[in-house]
Amino acid sequence: MKSKIIQLRTFLKRNKIFFEVLAATALTITSIFVSFKANNISKRQMEIMELENTPRIEIQRTQLFTDSTKTYQVTKWLVFNNNSKISNFEIEKEISYLNIAKKNREEISIPVIEYLNPSGKLSGQNEGLIYEFDNINSFHDEFVTSQKLLEYGAVDVKSFIEISYHDVLGRKEIKYFQILPLIQEISKTDWDLTYEDWSNKSNNAIYLKYIEKNIKQIKK
């Protein structure tokens, strides 16, 4: 028994450096693992914090009658922020088209200038309903134009907006939405393509208020 103890002691003395290196390596590996774990936790916490502070913009549309006979309607859009707080909300740009689906199945898209009412209304709130706007300057002219073109084809309006706001961290965010005939968020790529198309056709852009002039231009 004593002989075995002496042999073990001799073995340990001879391999002292090996065990020291092994222990140091084990400590290093453990330290790296703990650091990696802590970094993952920190990253996850940051993602959660960013998610909690990311505004969720939603746009809803409603129709309001403007006369007692309920003949004419104005379209109103309501902008909601359903998460976090924002400031300095505004509509940066608008792109609108008068679309005509002719009876021969040909489609025409004519750029429209100032379809939306530029004087929107801020609610004064950072969350919930934050902004509302309408097409009160255009809805009547749109209705009359569509009636005058009934025998020519179906008329509707396609409209897009670029919005901006500052989030709770002070960063300026920009988003893009189609608001007619559908309401949906679109990518910057889709916005850029639409904006380029509108710009290329802008020489033929119209104001809806010039109804008779527009009708002649469309039918020629």
Q: Return the closest-CA partner of residue 91 out of 51, 125, 118.
A: 118
- Ramachandran bin of 111, using left for φ above 0, alpha for ψ from -120 to 50, beta for the remaining angles: beta
Give the number of domains in the chain.
2
Residue 104's pLDDT is 78
pLDDT for res 219: 79
Do 135 and 212 lie in one domain? The reply is yes
Q: Is the pLDDT of residue 8 over 50?
A: no
Nearest to 165 by CA among 100, 99, 81, 48: 81
Whether residue 139 is found in the same domain as residue 211:
yes
Claim to verify: residue 166 and residue 119 sit in the same structural domain: yes
26 and 70 assigned to the same domain: no
Residues 115 and 148 grouped into a single domain: yes
The neighbouring-strand residues paired with 178 are: 160, 184
| Residue 85 sits in the same domain as residue 139 | yes
| Range of the structural domain that residue 36 is part of | 2-52
90 and 48 within one domain: no
Looking at the structure, tell me whether residues 134 and 42 fall in a common domain: no
Residue 179: the pLDDT is: 98
Confidence at residue 194, expressed as pLDDT on a 0 to 100 scale: 98
- pLDDT tens per residue across span 168-186: 889 999 999 999 999 999 9
Instruction: Report the CATH number that the domain containing residue 194 is assigned in CATH.
Output: 2.60.40
Are both 88 and 132 inside the same structural domain? Answer: yes
Shared domain for 85 and 175, answered yes or no, is: yes
Average pLDDT over all residues of the chain: 83
Check whether residue 99 and residue 170 sit in a common domain. yes
Last residue of a domain, one of 52, 70, 88: 52
Q: Over the stretch 39-98, which tens digit does the pLDDT of each residue have?
A: 655 566 555 555 566 889 999 999 988 777 777 788 999 999 998 889 999 999 999 999
What pLDDT, in 10s, does the model give residues 134-157?
998 898 899 899 999 988 889 999
Whether residues 69 and 166 fall in one domain = yes
Q: Which pLDDT value is given to residue 168?
A: 86
